[in-house]
Structure 1
Amino acid sequence: MTRSTVLLPLSLAALLAASPALAQTATGGDWSFEIGTGTDNRSKNASKSGNDGYAFGSATWESGDGLFYAGPAFQTIQSGGSNLEAELVAGYQPEAFGYQFDFSLAYKNRLDADPGYDAETVELTADISRSIGPARAGLQLQYAPQAAGSTESFTWVEGEVGWAFSDRIDASVAVGRREQDNGPDYTGWNAGVTLAMTDAIALDLRYYDTSAHADGEQYEDALVAKVAYAF
């Protein structure tokens, strides 16, 4: 049995396991959508688009009480012969003791990848954050038992601090560490500003860098601009 025939059923089973809770809160739920483009597709501070521009989009259903969400997404990439990564994600985002939590499971597939390329992965993510006035801080923990491509399992830990200068202007700095099997371990960081140009359109300008320049162009530093339209 191949890994592809194992990952997809396991991912779907985990998503379906949450369906009773989702169904209980489905009444009054809403859909939201986002599309956008950027000068480079950065994930964990490294490029997924060959340091070229990319497009992305998502459709997200959220329960009436705001606790549960689920939906598909896509982003253009350049990896293993694939130019498009599709994603299905489901999550639970409670609030307790003044902290916001977000626990999610994502299944990702790099479509039309070269034969023999490992195109699928499942990622487990836990986020915790807290805001006090204009200041906020967050911590993200992520694990994949088998990543796409030649990388096997990996862990990602990232801390972020931010400051809302106004309802329209927000700045943040984040530092993360990726440990992976059959791939370079590295530290990455980014700093930037997000400007809400309207209630629906946001512009993000951010500088990225990593400690793994010697491991390829995708790990080199870059100034990235991104615009997103939410509706």
Structure 2
Amino acid sequence: MKFFKLALAAAAATAALSGAAMAEEVSLSYNVGIASDYVFRGVSQTQEDPQVFGGVDLGYGIGYAGVWASNVDFGTSDPSIEVDLYGGIKPTVGDATLDFGVLYYGYSEDKGLTPGKFSYTELKAAVSKPVGKVTLGAAVYWSPEWPGDLGSATYAEVNGSVPLSEKFSLSAALGKQSIEDAADYTTWNVGVGYALTEKLALDVRYWDTSEHDFGDIYKSRVAVSLKAAF
């Protein structure tokens, strides 16, 4: 928790120093898509069934906020809908972009904006930096209470992406999910993106985890998604 307090303080100081250069324009963008499977940190959130999703993002200077929704299926009678709320700031230091934010993962059977049976909150600290044609990144997410009363949880990831041509790109990530009162696991993914148009993109991605014994939803899979952004 001390790490996040220091990170947020540093972000606030950076934002104050760059305040004069902040672009005072509000931007609004939308996205909608479909996928063969909703995979989150290597784990299927739809029992390996298709996903339909969409979201709205608001930007103002280095600040951002948004809402995103998707169908889910955890193998029980509930929940069936996930609605995420998030916000934060993205200051820059040289050619590196920082990202400090808060995310709330809400589910249809939980009420209000507080953690419930399924819902939970995470704090995020991330950085990305171009190195030649490659963009490298790292991120840490921390939750004070994981669903199921499993205590605090941390997800740490390193990632990278590189353009292969004008329309093709390659990206990959390696992460570890650690939960206070549950077993940890490692996850990784690698995929190719293709820009069908300026607003429509296709992604084909291989996912896997270190713990296939946790069940079928933790096993290796390939997910295909089609996303429109405008």
Instruction: Classify the TM-score, shorter chain.
Output: 0.7 to 0.9
Aligned-residue offset at 1:167: 3.3
The answer to whether structure 1 residue 108 and structure 2 residue 99 are counterparts is no
1:126 aligns to what?
A: 125
Aligned partners of 1:139, 1:55: CA distance in 2, in Å? 28
Letter in 1 for 2:72: I
* TM superposition shift of 1:169: 1.2
Identity of aligned residues (%): 28
| 2:162 corresponds to 1:167 | no
CA deviation map 1:38-87 (0-9, x unaligned): 11111111111111111111101101x3x111121111111251011111
TM-score (norm 2): 0.83
Match of 1:73 in 2: 68
For residue 182 of structure 1, report the CA deviation from its aligned partner.
3.1
Considering only aligned residues, what root-mean-square deviation do their CA atoms show, in Å? 2.3
* Residue 205 (str. 1) matches residue 204 (str. 2): yes
Amino acid at match of 2:202: L
Q: Which amino acid aligns with 2:183?
A: P
CA distance in 2, matches of 1:126, 1:103: 5
In structure 1, list runs of 5 or more residues that go unmatched.
1-17
Structure 2 letter corresponding to 1:159: V
SS at match of 2:80: strand
Q: Which residue of 2 aligns with 1:8?
A: none
CA contact (8 A) 1:127 1:140 kept: yes
**How far apart are the structure 1 equivalents of 2:166 and 2:131?**
15
2:85 aligned partner: 88
Q: Which residue of 2 aligns with 1:229?
A: 228
Q: In the alignment, is the contact (CA less than 8 A) between 2:146 and 2:179 conserved in 1?
A: no
Query: Normalization by structure 1: what TM-score?
Result: 0.83
Cα gap change, 1:40 to 1:149, in 2 (>3 Å): farther
| Structure 2 gap ranges (5+) | 1-11, 111-115
> Secondary structure of 1:52's match?
coil
How many residues are matched?
207
CA contact under 8 A between 1:184 and 1:215: conserved in structure 2?
A: no
